Structure 1
Amino acid sequence: MNDLSTVETKHYISWPILALMCFVTVIGFDDLIYNFKNQGMGVITSWILMLFLYVIPYSLMVGQLGSIFNHEGGGLSSWIRGTNGEFLGYFTAWTYWAASIPYVVDTANSVVVGIGWAITGSSKFQDAISNSQFALWTLLTFAVFILVQSRFKRSLELLSMIGGIAMFGMTVLFVIMSISSLALGGHIATQPMNLGAIIPKFDLKYLTTVGLLIYAVNGCELIAPFVTKMKKPQTEFPKSMLMLVGMTAFLTIFGSFSLGIFFNAHHLPNDLKMNGSYYAFQALGQQYHVGNLFMYLFAWTEVFYLIALLAVLLDAMTRMLISDTGERYMPKLLRKTNAAGLPVNGYLLTCVLSGFILLLGIFLPDMNDIFNWLLNLNGIISPGVTCWIFYAFMRVRKNPVKYPSSYVFIKNDKLAWLVGFWALAVTAIATAFGIAPQDVTEFSSTWWYELIINIVAITVLIGLGAILPLITRRENKYGQAFSRGQWVIMITLVVVAVIVGVYLGGSALANRGVLIVIEALLALFLIWLVGRRHLEVKN
């Protein structure tokens, strides 16, 4: 046996590579479309403000948190667990998971929309199906990819990475070719194009759209574990984040300007959020006289990227929740795995909650309203979860001796705490205002219905996380959470609520209100069951 010890050379991540890794998770072409629809050309000013007043401090705070908690992988829940204890760490993991539910539903919807465009070259597929058929296709997409991801997970992760890079390439291509088209005789659709056109109107409607801007730029926490893999994080990480901001600034500012070339920002299509990306590449192809070539390239890139992303998300988010919360707070039923080690009941819970979200939206007037509502729901829940990041940072800077770090954002602890508070306040306010519905006429029946289902969706997704530890406590006390009779009652109520909801699925607000009342009563009954002290036994 050789007594000589081998010296392992540590592999460091360079700061440009880290910036590129983060960039793919932060911004995409669809983010440009969504916020352009909300704010028009004024979104250019909003992007500039967001980048300097929010993205830079946000990303640098993430860097310090990732450096402090690197021994736990740098996950968001580990940051809260390390600063506030086990239960809040669990609840953070739950809210992070719950925030992913509307995201995966929205992603599945986008897959259906993308396949329609990739096959027909237009929005004909959307026009030919009803809301219920749209929901059915979305649920079918879930079922297929929950099965597929277990067999081809590694291939899909590679495909999602390749797709993300390809999507970035398509976005840069669009920006460059759009601006170049002006030199070839093209004209700007948004008129007048002057300084006044890019100044947003700072009113109540503007405040309701800030959450979607935050949703577009969050995701930096995903690269936090890599901070300690840099050779000199104290000097290299800020460089990486400045490079990130530079690339994001180029894409958001010039990308929004490019959209103004093809779309009149004062009169935008009603379905721009759902179909705007395809319209944009269709218009680019017409400008360069190549027909729908660019649109088909984008559509298939979008489909393959979203397919891989959906499969990886469905697996990763469920595994993260089940493994990160452990036996103390998560019921045995959800921790159960099959022979392949897959948390099958966790997948089932994901599908059930996704179906619940779809059921809430199915009674909206058309597919476009469903798509917009789901997207805007992401603009509420996702920024709300981001608040945990700033809260953890404030706790760390309140007691810096307890939390040493190889990278420190702002050496003065009081100033750093104030910056963290600023980011927390902005995000919390944006979350609160985001609850107000967008893309529909204010105070119309649809507006009120969307407001109600926004509150219901948030309450159910977050509230269930508070109930599960109580169910686990019942398991520990009685050996099982509910008796067979209680399970029969609960399942029967759920089935009846769904049937009644479908039966009352007309357009009248009163019918929708009845559905909401039924769901609320069901929720109260389930909470009552959880709180019962005695359990009728058993087998």
Structure 2
Amino acid sequence: MPDNLLQPKKHYMSWPVIALLDFVTIISFENIFYPFQNQGLSVVISWIFLLFAYVIPYELIVSQLSLTFDNQSGGLASWVRRGSNDTLGYWTSWMYWIQSVPYIVDVSNSVIVSFSWMILGNNTLGQKMSTFEFGMLTFIIILLFILLENLIKNSLEVLSLIGGGAMFIMSVLFVLLAGYALLHGAKIATQPFNFHAFLPHFSLKYFSTTGLLIFAMSGAELAAPYIVQMRDPKHEFPKAMWLLAIMTAFLTIFGTLSLAVFFNANHIPHDFKMNGPYYAFSLLGQELGLGKILMYLFAVVQAIFMMAQLAVLLDASSRVFAGDVADKFMPSWLTKKNKQGRPINSYLMTTGLSLFLLLLTGTLPNINTIYNWLLNINGIVSPYKTCWVFFSFLAIRWRQKDFHSDYIFIRNRTGALLVGGWCLAFTFVCATLGFIPQEAAFGTKAFNHQLLLNFITVFILFGVGLLLPLLRKHELKKQR
């Protein structure tokens, strides 16, 4: 009997599934709301600039890196480790993993908000639930998803397909129905709606909020660990990245223009970042004579989408952390895998650090402030992580004779180094400016409190990475 008949049939992931899986983790309908609140109509110019000067190069850089190291399980950490050294590879894996913790908490918060709109039908969650109850419920959701991922086979792929597909359809539906409403007499809420309204007003606040745009559009490298599950990565992975760029461009540009139809960019509700998507579909439903039907439909899709995000984040980030790190840095108990091949102790450590963040949020006055602060934290730590993508690209292009890839982004070495250097510098500057609190006036007690929380959070999250090599060193001593 031929040997291949004895082998189980391999399950491949198609490139549209990879694109949707990445889309789930990168950007959603709600991600266009906080940039609209921060920058108004001028954010359209920011989105277009970032798309061509940052997002497309970024995703094609990821294509080259993924196909250069297509047999490595650690994703971004493998890229840096193979392109430089073990120490930087470890720090990349740590920062990659730890930057997902605030986002995991943020996504869990969004799951609660979506269910509150399904149940209450309005924005009164903050009146019905204390910050402590909100934090504990967030923690319970994270625990539940860790259990579900280990119990339900292919839950990650199924949730990504349903959640990513449904959210993109809802986003397209919103844009099309907003256009339909305009053609049938609806007035544009943002006035003046002219060329000058789209021009950016460069200031410290403008640049300090750009980190959130990077956070909203970055994360393509999260798909890298799944490249081994593709049938023809050489041709399919770049296709997935281009589809990802097209979906991202559509949502950010046309979604923002549609928001201007229903909201005055000069007078945004204070809870716009948390409840804006539900306001948007409520207003759209009223304009079309459908009542709250569209809002409830979006709340269901948002819940599925956010649960898909949570599933992908918990799985992919833990795989990166435990997937490819030099032995001297990682305690053996942290890389131990269960029967399903998942690094269960990495999941538990994620849960513990999520609890630390939730304790910090307990010092904030209300749920809306918690939601906004977590977004701002993501606008700091996520871009810092993304810096490693461009660092690894610069490393392999500097020594490009030592590395082979089936896909090359910019064949000219000097041109590739210039583009990679620009992306690295831009990302680092925006991440650093993100420490400036966005929701409080300079010099106020709230501003100082949030600034202190920003520094404490980033210092603790990144700093804990110093402990693991020490624990591993102690472990090795005991084994002698």
After TM superposition, is the score higher than 0.5? yes
Q: 1:346, 1:199 → 2: CA distance?
A: 45
Q: 2:349, 2:176 → 1: CA distance?
A: 44
Q: 1:247, 1:348 → 2: CA distance?
A: 33
Structure 1 letter corresponding to 2:41: M
Q: 2:136, 2:414 → 1: CA distance?
A: 53
Q: Which moved more, 1:470-479 or 1:351-360?
A: 470-479
* CA shift for structure 1 position 476: 1.4
Is 1:254 equivalent to 2:282 in the alignment? Answer: no
* CA shift for structure 1 position 93: 1.0
Structure 2 letter corresponding to 1:346: S
| Corresponding residue of 1:512 | none
Q: 1:322, 1:26 → 2: CA distance?
A: 22
Q: Secondary structure at the match of 1:325?
A: coil
Q: Deviations over 1:303-335 (max 9, x none)?
A: 122224324433443344234336432224434
Q: 2:439, 2:269 → 1: CA distance?
A: 11
Is 1:390 equivalent to 2:394 in the alignment? Answer: no
| Corresponding residue of 2:288 | 288
* CA shift for structure 1 position 219: 1.8
Query: 1:88–1:412: structure 2 CA closer, same or farther, 3 Å change rule?
Result: same
Structure 1 letter corresponding to 2:299: A
Q: 1:275, 1:239 → 2: CA distance?
A: 34
Is 1:195 equivalent to 2:182 in the alignment? Answer: no
Query: 1:199–1:4: structure 2 CA closer, same or farther, 3 Å change rule?
Result: closer
Is 1:329 equivalent to 2:329 in the alignment? Answer: yes
Q: 2:465, 2:166 → 1: CA distance?
A: 37
Contact 1:331–1:475, Cα closer than 8 Å, also in 2: yes
Q: Secondary structure at the match of 2:409?
A: coil
| Corresponding residue of 1:269 | 269
- Larger CA Rg, structure 1 vs 2: 1
Q: 1:114, 1:103 → 2: CA distance?
A: 16
Q: 1:381, 1:173 → 2: CA distance?
A: 32
* CA shift for structure 1 position 250: 2.6
Question: What are the equivalent positions in structure 2 for 1:404-415 lying under 5 Å apart?
Answer: 404-415=404-415
- Identity percentage of aligned residues: 47
Q: Secondary structure at the match of 1:71?
A: coil
Q: TM-score, normalised by structure 1?
A: 0.82
Query: 1:110–1:472: structure 2 CA closer, same or farther, 3 Å change rule?
Result: same
Contact 2:21–2:164, Cα closer than 8 Å, also in 1: no
| Corresponding residue of 1:440 | 440
Q: Secondary structure at the match of 1:105?
A: helix
| Corresponding residue of 2:371 | 371
Query: 1:64–1:33: structure 2 CA closer, same or farther, 3 Å change rule?
Result: same
Contact 2:42–2:200, Cα closer than 8 Å, also in 1: yes
Q: TM-score, normalised by structure 2?
A: 0.91
Is 1:462 equivalent to 2:462 in the alignment? Answer: yes
| Corresponding residue of 2:46 | 46
Q: 1:326, 1:86 → 2: CA distance?
A: 6
Which is bigger in relative contact order (C-alpha 8 A, separation at least 6)? 2
Q: 1:108, 1:237 → 2: CA distance?
A: 29
Q: 2:62, 2:106 → 1: CA distance?
A: 26
Q: 1:4, 1:375 → 2: CA distance?
A: 49
Contact 2:31–2:216, Cα closer than 8 Å, also in 1: yes
Structure 1 letter corresponding to 2:402: K
Is 1:314 equivalent to 2:340 in the alignment? Answer: no
| Corresponding residue of 2:107 | 107
* CA shift for structure 1 position 38: 1.4
* CA shift for structure 1 position 136: 1.5
* CA shift for structure 1 position 76: 0.6
Structure 2 letter corresponding to 1:103: Y
| Corresponding residue of 1:349 | 349
| Corresponding residue of 2:140 | 140
| Corresponding residue of 1:151 | 151
* CA shift for structure 1 position 232: 9.8
| Corresponding residue of 1:430 | 430
Structure 1 letter corresponding to 2:396: V
Contact 2:74–2:323, Cα closer than 8 Å, also in 1: no
| Corresponding residue of 1:35 | 35
Structure 1 letter corresponding to 2:193: M
* CA shift for structure 1 position 475: 1.7
Contact 2:77–2:93, Cα closer than 8 Å, also in 1: yes
Query: 1:390–1:340: structure 2 CA closer, same or farther, 3 Å change rule?
Result: closer
Contact 1:66–1:74, Cα closer than 8 Å, also in 2: no
Q: 2:4, 2:127 → 1: CA distance?
A: 72
Contact 1:67–1:74, Cα closer than 8 Å, also in 2: no
Structure 2 letter corresponding to 1:310: L
Contact 1:78–1:89, Cα closer than 8 Å, also in 2: yes
Q: 1:245, 1:95 → 2: CA distance?
A: 25
Contact 2:86–2:326, Cα closer than 8 Å, also in 1: no
Q: 1:449, 1:458 → 2: CA distance?
A: 14
Q: 1:218, 1:230 → 2: CA distance?
A: 25
Q: Which moved more, 1:65-74 or 1:447-456?
A: 65-74
Query: 1:410–1:11: structure 2 CA closer, same or farther, 3 Å change rule?
Result: farther
Contact 1:14–1:230, Cα closer than 8 Å, also in 2: yes
| Corresponding residue of 2:78 | 78
Q: 2:454, 2:132 → 1: CA distance?
A: 20
Q: 1:316, 1:244 → 2: CA distance?
A: 18
Q: Which moved more, 1:154-163 or 1:219-228?
A: 219-228
Contact 2:227–2:237, Cα closer than 8 Å, also in 1: no
Query: 1:471–1:425: structure 2 CA closer, same or farther, 3 Å change rule?
Result: same
Query: 1:42–1:280: structure 2 CA closer, same or farther, 3 Å change rule?
Result: same
Contact 1:282–1:294, Cα closer than 8 Å, also in 2: yes
Residue segments in structure 2 that go unaligned for 5+ positions in a row: none
Q: Deviations over 1:345-387 (max 9, x none)?
A: 4333222211111111211121111100001111111111000
* CA shift for structure 1 position 149: 2.6
Q: 1:352, 1:320 → 2: CA distance?
A: 18
* CA shift for structure 1 position 154: 2.2
Query: 1:115–1:69: structure 2 CA closer, same or farther, 3 Å change rule?
Result: same
| Corresponding residue of 1:536 | none
Contact 2:26–2:216, Cα closer than 8 Å, also in 1: yes
Q: 2:294, 2:17 → 1: CA distance?
A: 28
* CA shift for structure 1 position 132: 1.4
Contact 2:26–2:218, Cα closer than 8 Å, also in 1: yes
Q: Which moved more, 1:54-63 or 1:384-393?
A: 54-63
Q: 2:207, 2:341 → 1: CA distance?
A: 45
| Corresponding residue of 2:301 | 301
Q: 2:327, 2:21 → 1: CA distance?
A: 33
Q: 1:214, 1:4 → 2: CA distance?
A: 46
| Corresponding residue of 1:177 | 177
Query: 1:199–1:228: structure 2 CA closer, same or farther, 3 Å change rule?
Result: farther
Q: Which moved more, 1:51-60 or 1:303-312?
A: 303-312
Structure 1 letter corresponding to 2:111: V
Q: 1:336, 1:229 → 2: CA distance?
A: 25
Structure 2 letter corresponding to 1:252: T
Contact 2:25–2:312, Cα closer than 8 Å, also in 1: no
* CA shift for structure 1 position 34: 2.0
Query: 1:291–1:2: structure 2 CA closer, same or farther, 3 Å change rule?
Result: closer
Query: 1:309–1:28: structure 2 CA closer, same or farther, 3 Å change rule?
Result: closer
* CA shift for structure 1 position 161: 2.2
Q: 1:314, 1:479 → 2: CA distance?
A: 31
| Corresponding residue of 1:418 | 418
Structure 1 letter corresponding to 2:146: I
Q: 1:69, 1:156 → 2: CA distance?
A: 23
| Corresponding residue of 2:129 | 129
* CA shift for structure 1 position 406: 1.9
Q: 1:4, 1:169 → 2: CA distance?
A: 40
Is 1:359 equivalent to 2:369 in the alignment? Answer: no
Q: 1:336, 1:17 → 2: CA distance?
A: 28
